[in-house]
Amino acid sequence: MDWNVTVGELLRDYREGWTLPGRAYTEPALYEHDVSTFWRKDWIFVAHLCELRQPGDFVAVEVAGDSLLVVRQDGATVAALHNVCPHRGSIVTEQRAGHCRRFVCPYHQWTFDLKGRLRAAPGLDARHDRADLGLRRAHVRELAGLIFVSTAENPTDFGPVAATVGPMLQPQGLAGARIAHSEEYVVEANWKVLWENHAECLHCVSNHPEYVKANFDRFGPNTTPPHVNARIAAIAEANRLRWGGTALEIEQVTTGFPSFPDREEGRWYGCERTALVEGWATESVDGRLVAPYMGEYSSYDVGTLRVRVLPNLWLHGNCDYAVTTALFPDGPTRTRARVTWLVAAAAQEGADYDRERLVAIWKATSEQDWLVCRRQQAGLSSSAYRPGPLSEESEYNVIRFLSWYVKRLGG
């Protein structure tokens, strides 16, 4: 399949303000183009720093067909190594996570240290230089406890996301947190379907009964009743008196989502702190706290922090827990979504928190989202599908996401 022809057709048929032509969500050749344009160029969130406490701790992740080992080498450094043996290409480990002093390829026992250097190579002819035969490295950045990798040769500058998101995320204390629970979902939908869904709350009232009790997102910025705006203003004002000028200040005081991604400068990351509904100390089913305070939080009048980094991460940070959702595409019509709940490292399950209560709202909300995404994908694959109109008032971030996508695709 000639990529350029397919991309060319897509660019020709795309109309801003409408969903994409169907093949953007189904066509294997276009999926390959997505992989090379986004997933092998951009920064991909792969792990939490708190998963890698000791030298030798590692996690293995699959990013659009590339298996990567994210490993702590010593006290300070985390590296990303391609999980591909330089001998004959075997995967070096099939473990999802673990601890080791060296990686030994199961095929012919080539052995690599934590930096990926070849340390033993049975059968290797003396004429080959071992220094050239280590595990290939990918780029790594840490951001307030989140680890990102890029397999690009020259990745995009990570500086702006670190400068924007870092200070706001720092108080969440993710680096010193603990994973309380995680779920890996296989969603039968193209990765863009999941982003489109995440970019709007028009579907919230009918699909997220738990979420809408805690959040104001269901209101569009121009159609919010004045009394709701007044309530948000009052919550923000009370917060400002205590936390004004700090990272805990509620700055997002309008309803709806802030515009994202940024059209003018092409910003692919964003974060804001916004109000929770009165009586909701955290995003939970009943509004009550579900875990001890984490990070620098010492009270619940801090609203909730949202972070998103294209193409694969969104995070909600509450005073007592944080939840991350990481997307990993697995073919044109399938995405793996890993949802991870974090609490303060000292919090003990059973004594300090109940796991069911902790995960309830985001487990429900995530699964409700995957259901609507799966249904949408089924329709997108139909011969009857035609691009549909997006609302300027309530789906403006879907419009932005798609125009960002098409712009990138067009180079």
Residues near ligand FES, by CB under 6 A: 85, 87-88, 90, 105, 107-108, 110
The DSSP annotation for 251-282 comes to -B-SSSPPP-S-TTT---EEEEEEPBPTT-SS
Quick note: the x/- pattern for Fe ion over 328-367, rule CB under 5 A, is: ----------------------------------------
Q: Which residue has the tokens 């293995």?
A: 60
Q: Please count the CA atoms within 13 angstroms of the CA of 149 that sit on its side-chain side.
A: 27
Q: Please count the CA atoms within 13 angstroms of the CA of 302 that sit on its side-chain side.
A: 27
196 binds Fe ion (CB under 5 A): no
369 binds Fe ion (CB under 5 A): yes
Nearer to ligand FES, 126 or 351 (CB): 126
Shortest Å, Cβ 132 to ligand FES:
15
27 binds Fe ion (CB under 5 A): no
Shortest Å, Cβ 342 to ligand FES:
35
**What is the three-class DSSP state of 41?**
coil
Which partner, Fe ion, ligand FES, none, binds residue 110 by CB below 5 to 8 Å per kind? ligand FES
Shortest Å, Cβ 194 to ligand FES:
35
Token digits of residue 188: 């039968």
- Output Rg (C-alpha) for the chain, integer angstroms: 22
Which residue number places its CB atom closest to Fe ion? 369
Which partner, ligand FES, Fe ion, none, binds residue 401 by CB below 5 to 8 Å per kind? none
Token digits of residue 237: 């004002």
Nearer to ligand FES, 14 or 110 (CB): 110
Shortest Å, Cβ 122 to ligand FES:
8
Count of residues interacting with Fe ion (CB under 5 A): 1
Q: Which of 277, 288, 341 is nearest to 315 (CA)?
A: 341
Nearer to ligand FES, 87 or 273 (CB): 87
Which partner, ligand FES, Fe ion, none, binds residue 85 by CB below 5 to 8 Å per kind? ligand FES
Nearer to Fe ion, 297 or 341 (CB): 341
In terms of DSSP bridges, do strands 57-63 and 66-72 run parallel, antiparallel, or are they unpaired?
antiparallel
Shortest Å, Cβ 110 to ligand FES:
4
Q: Which of 345, 341, 305 is nearest to 326 (CA)?
A: 341
Which partner, ligand FES, Fe ion, none, binds residue 3 by CB below 5 to 8 Å per kind? none
Nearer to ligand FES, 29 or 124 (CB): 124
Nearer to ligand FES, 93 or 239 (CB): 93
Burial grade of 285 (CB within 10 A; 0-12, 13-18, 19 or more) = middle
Burial grade of 186 (CB within 10 A; 0-12, 13-18, 19 or more) = exposed
Shortest Å, Cβ 130 to ligand FES:
13
Which partner, ligand FES, Fe ion, none, binds residue 369 by CB below 5 to 8 Å per kind? Fe ion
* Rounded Cα distance, 231 and 278, in Å: 8
* Rounded Cα distance, 114 and 228, in Å: 54
Nearer to ligand FES, 7 or 69 (CB): 69
Dihedral angle computed from the Cα positions of residues 8, 12, 17 and 18, in that order, rounded to the nearest 10 degrees: -80
Token digits of residue 75: 């006290």
Shortest Å, Cβ 101 to ligand FES:
18
Nearer to ligand FES, 3 or 107 (CB): 107
Which residue blocks in 122-218 are alpha helix, DSSP H? 159-169, 191-198, 204-207, 211-214
Shortest Å, Cβ 409 to Fe ion:
25
The residue ranges that bind Fe ion (CB under 5 A) are 369
